[in-house]
Structure formats: C-alpha cells, structure tokens
Amino acid sequence: MDSLHTFSASGTHTWGKHFGSLVVVIAFTILQVNGQGSWKLLSDNVGIASMHTAVTHYGSVIMLDRTNIGPSNITLPKGRCRNNPDDLMLKHDCYAHSVEFWPKSGRVRPLFIWSDTWCSSGQFGADGTLVQTGGDYTGISAIRRFVPCAESDGKCDWKEDKAKMYEHRWYASNQLLPDGTFIVVGGRAQFTLEFVPPKSGNATYLPLLEETNDFQADNMYPFVHLLPDGNLFIFANRDSIIYDYKKNLTLRKLPRIPGTPRSYPSAGSSVMLPLQAGDGFSRVEILICGGAQLGAWAHPERKLSAANDCGRMVVTDPDPEWIMEKMPIRRNMGDMVLLPNHHTLIINGAKRGSQGWGFAEDPALHPVEYDPYGTPGYRFTIMNPTFIPRLYHSTANLLPDGSVLLAGSNTHQFYTFNDTYNTELRVEQFLPEYLSSDYDYLRPVITESPKSVGHGENFTITVTIPSRPLFENQIELVLLSSPFTTHSYSQGQRMLNLGVEEPILLDADSGSYSYQITGRSPPSGNVAPAAYYMLFAVNYHVPGEAVWLQIVA
C-alpha cells in the first residue's frame, strides 16, 4: 500500500506455495511506524549531479557525472579545461564533471576527468585506490584511477590508464576479487566478462547474460556478489547462477525470482545480507527488492506501477528458494544500504515507471528500513520522508558516522532547472533512528584501534561507553566495505559481523566505562578481500562512529 497518512500496528499473514519451483510467497499487512529517522541538508550545491558515488578511507566522497553533458554547475580551477575533439557537447570544456566532497566541512573540490564515465562501474582496490571502468563514447573501454588524499593535501585527482579493456563496458558491474584484481561483468549488448588488469588474451563469454537479454535488455548492471567460498553469485533480469570465475564454469543455476525483472533498466536493487562469524561466514543470503514492471521501460508513457516486493534466498542451501515479502511502498530505482545495526535501508526511487530520462514519476520520498532478522510480517519500518525527489541517476552511500549520504538525480539528458524534476545538485544526509541523541548513553566510542590487520588475526580496540556498562553479550564489531554506487546497485557492498571475545573492563571513572575488546579479522580474501573497511563497534544495536581498518593480504 502506498498511502502514508495512516499507520497500523496490526498484521495479518497470508501464506502461499507453488511447488513447481518450490517458491514460498508471503503476503503481509506490513507494520508501519511513522516518525523515525531525520534529515540534514549537507550542501545546497556541489556543482554536479552525482551519477556515481563512493566514500574514500579519508572520509571524502568522490562524485562523478558524465563528461558529454555540456556545462555543469562548477568550473575547473585555474582556467584548466578539457580539450577533447571527440566530446559530443563541448570540445573545449572548462567545467568539472567529478568533484570531491567532504561531508564534515562541506568543502567541494572540482576534479579533472578526461573520458566519458556515463553509466560506468568501479570499486576500491586493496590500497584504497578507486578503480573506475568503462562508460560511453571516449570512455567505453577506459580504466581510470583515483588515489585518495587528505583534505589538507587537496592535490589528488583522476588518472587514466594507457591500457584499455578488451570490450566496450557501458552499464557493466565491477567486483573486487580475493587476489586484488577486478572482474567486470556485462554491459549493454555485452555477453562477456573480463578482468582488470587483464588475465587472459580476451573477454570470456557468459551464457547467462545472453539468456537474460529480453526485449528491454534487462540484463545490464548485473548484481555480482563475491561468495565466501571464492565463487560469484551473478544475477541478471530474473535469473542467477553460482559461477567459478577461475574455471569459467557455471556451478549451479538458481531458481528464477518471481515477478518483474530486477536489473537495469527495470532497476531493482540487491545486497548480500551480513556474513556472520558465528557460522564461519558460511551462510549466504541474497536480498533483492523492487524493480519496474516488464514493459515500463519500453513504454514509458504508461508509467506502470513499480514492484512492491522483495525476494530473499539462501544461496548456500542445497535446495534454495526465493522467499517473497511485500514492501509497504512500491519502488524502482531504489538504493539498498547495509547499516551497522544489520538492517537494510531502502531509499530513493519512484513508485511508477522505470529508469530513463523522464520515464518515472511519483517519487518514493519515504525510506524504509528492513530488519532481516525480525518477525515475518513486521520487518519493514517506514522512516520520515525527504522533500527532495531522488530518481534517475541518484545514489545512497553509508558514511563512517553511520548516516547515509544522498546525492544526484537527473531525469533529463542535460542539466535542467525549470522542469517537474530538476537536476539535483543538493546533497542530503539521512540519520537512522540509532543516531538519535536518545541513544547516546549506549553509543560506543572507539578510542584506540589498529590501522591494519591481516586475515585470520586477533586484534584489540579500546571502546568507551558514556554512561553505563555494556549490556552482557551485546557488543559487536562490524566491518562494512565502501562500495561504488550507481544505478540502484552498490558494487562491492558487503558486511561482516566479526567474532568477539568477552570485553575486559579497563576503567569506570567519571561515569564512563572503558573496555578492551578483542576481535578476529575475516579468515581469508574470499570472505573479505584486502581493502579498507569501516569498523563499527555496536552496543545493543547502537553503533558509534567507525574507524577505518585496512585488511591486508
């Protein structure tokens, strides 16, 4: 149901099964709660509409639009310009199409990007470098790198590799692998994958991508998740496989998800739910929510209603099945963000239409928080709304303080400020309920921690609780990656709940409590590829601000 004027705490349960593909379908009256979470405007104008967003381990946010869009709202410094005879709009372009934004200070720094990053992919490497792949026109096979630096430095910028990828990669997905390289999967009219840096003499054919290429090409930006056994879960359209990329072998074909297409341009979203040390990081569950109706992209004038369901599947089960749950708000183009309290935030998007310029309307202004471990029928909670529509080309990224940064939205081919849904240059921050001052008495503060740790190693941190002792067995250490977010999918997003020994009380003076906590890092690069992660201490579901921890191979 889409009406948000009344709320009900009652729930009725309806179950159904059809045994052909052993799919359990659950329809519920959803618990709806108003008044949770809050919003803050971080910037009135960062100069560009961020189509692609990623948070560096220095705490800055790298934002990217496309280059062949004409003037942005911010110029390059000191008269620097891009002279590119192949640019479609400005051969002599003195505008920035990428910026670095610092959420705490509000500083915006223009960056120089050469080739076109339109609908590209990316991810952070082991040393914190943002590796960016593909795009369109001049950038369709490009490889770019951004090495982050401190705000006081302010000299880091984009660089382009001389080497190119084998294939054109427009609307492809990128996944960091355990050996520190990247796999780039699919793209428009591409049924192949390849590695960066190259691992073979050519791209590799992946049948799934051709098999899922319907009349809308709903196989773009496939959902790719690295599994703890070192294989990949790859999802396109409505189908998915377990894939051994080392042997180029499809190990399993998984059941088809019910309902609508879920990948671009139908624009559902996907996360791998948190991996748990308690089961040896062996149980893997995928959650996919929302999407556009089949035909919504091909017939945008119809403004068809978006999907109102989520599917979750334990892909490590011997006989996996999709469990379907009804969302309280229809949504396509939504972003899914893993939160340190183990919930998933579903935010941004529209209730009708699909991805594309002007193809959607009726913005989904209310975020929804999903508790994967809650009682069935009561897992969704509706949050307080924003007043800024975030539609096509918008993003959502977790920040180290536990809030979520919202950027972008441009439903037009060029920057447009006199239409129903204007090009959006504002940046917002959504603060989940756990950041309310009501929970400050529980909030852990990490005062000492290591900068780096190897796989399978014990490490200690010091945590201070402001006003009361730890609840017994309620302290958690959580690792969250920093993904590359674009087109409703956060590439490389993963969360790990680490093994923790019983905390040791160090001090209880001045009304605060200081503890030494020993955790154990993930056992291998399959579970957590070497990279920078946000390390959160979570006390009774309330996180403190994260510190950056580098997992080294």
User: Which residues are 288's β-sheet partners?
Assistant: 270, 311
Query: In this predicted structure, what is the pLDDT of residue 507?
Result: 84
Same domain for 219 and 311, yes or no, is yes
Residues 6+ apart with CB under 8 A from 404: 337, 339, 345, 347, 396, 397, 398, 429, 430, 432
Same domain for 39 and 178, yes or no, is yes
Question: Could you tell me which of 229, 225, 222 has the C-alpha nearest to residue 266?
Answer: 222
Decide if pLDDT at 457 tops 60. yes
Same domain for 516 and 449, yes or no, is yes
Alpha-carbon torsion, ordered 201, 207, 210, 212, to 10 deg: -140
Query: In this predicted structure, what is the pLDDT of residue 36?
Result: 92
Same domain for 58 and 90, yes or no, is yes
Same domain for 254 and 212, yes or no, is yes
Q: Is residue 233 part of a domain?
A: yes
Q: Is residue 4 part of a domain?
A: no
Same domain for 481 and 332, yes or no, is no
Least confident of 85-89, 186-190, 205-209, 284-288: 85-89
Query: In this predicted structure, what is the pLDDT of residue 425?
Result: 98
Percentage of the chain modeled with pLDDT above 70 = 93
Q: Is residue 348 part of a domain?
A: yes
Q: What is the pLDDT of residues 165-175, one digit of tens each?
A: 999 999 999 99
Same domain for 298 and 248, yes or no, is yes
Same domain for 335 and 429, yes or no, is yes
Q: What is the pLDDT of residues 348-401, one digit of tens each?
A: 999 999 999 999 999 999 999 999 999 998 999 999 999 999 999 999 999 999
Q: Is residue 80 part of a domain?
A: yes
Q: Is residue 542 part of a domain?
A: yes
Task: Give residue 35's pLDDT band: very low, low, confident or very high (50, 70, 90).
Answer: low
Q: What is the pLDDT of residues 44-95, one digit of tens each?
A: 999 999 999 999 999 999 999 999 999 999 999 988 999 989 888 999 999 9
Q: Identify which has the larger pLDDT, 97 or 20.
A: 97
Same domain for 461 and 408, yes or no, is no
Same domain for 74 and 166, yes or no, is yes
Domain C-terminal end among 418, 434, 450: 434
Tokens 């399993």 belong to which residue?
252
Decide if pLDDT at 16 tops 70. no
Decide if pLDDT at 273 tops 90. yes
Q: Is residue 378 part of a domain?
A: yes
Average confidence score pLDDT of the chain: 92
Task: Give residue 25's pLDDT band: very low, low, confident or very high (50, 70, 90).
Answer: very low
Containing structural domain, residue 479: 441-552
Least confident of 27-31, 217-221, 288-292: 27-31
Residue 189 · residue 179 · CB < 8 Å:
no
Same domain for 496 and 366, yes or no, is no
Could you tell me the two tokens for 420? 């129903």
Q: What is the pLDDT of residues 521-545, one digit of tens each?
A: 999 999 999 999 999 999 999 999 9
Residues 6+ apart with CB under 8 A from 551: 452, 453, 454, 455, 479, 521, 522, 528, 529, 530, 531, 532, 533
CATH number of the domain encompassing residue 364: 2.130.10.80
Query: In this predicted structure, what is the pLDDT of residue 473?
Result: 67
Decide if pLDDT at 31 tops 50. no
Decide if pLDDT at 428 tops 60. yes
Same domain for 393 and 248, yes or no, is yes
Decide if pLDDT at 6 tops 50. no
Query: In this predicted structure, what is the pLDDT of residue 472?
Result: 64
Domain count for the chain? 2
Q: Is residue 214 part of a domain?
A: yes
Q: What is the pLDDT of residues 125-165, one digit of tens each?
A: 999 999 999 999 999 999 999 999 999 998 999 999 999 99
Decide if pLDDT at 12 tops 80. no
Q: Identify which has the larger pLDDT, 510 or 21.
A: 510
Domain C-terminal end among 384, 412, 434: 434
Domain C-terminal end among 383, 413, 434: 434
Least confident of 198-207, 222-231, 239-248: 198-207
CATH number of the domain encompassing residue 449: 2.60.40.10
Q: What average pLDDT does the segment 507-511 reach?
A: 77
pTM: 0.92
Query: In this predicted structure, what is the pLDDT of residue 420?
Result: 85
Q: Is residue 231 part of a domain?
A: yes
Measure the CA–CA gap between 279 and 312, rounded to whole angstroms: 19
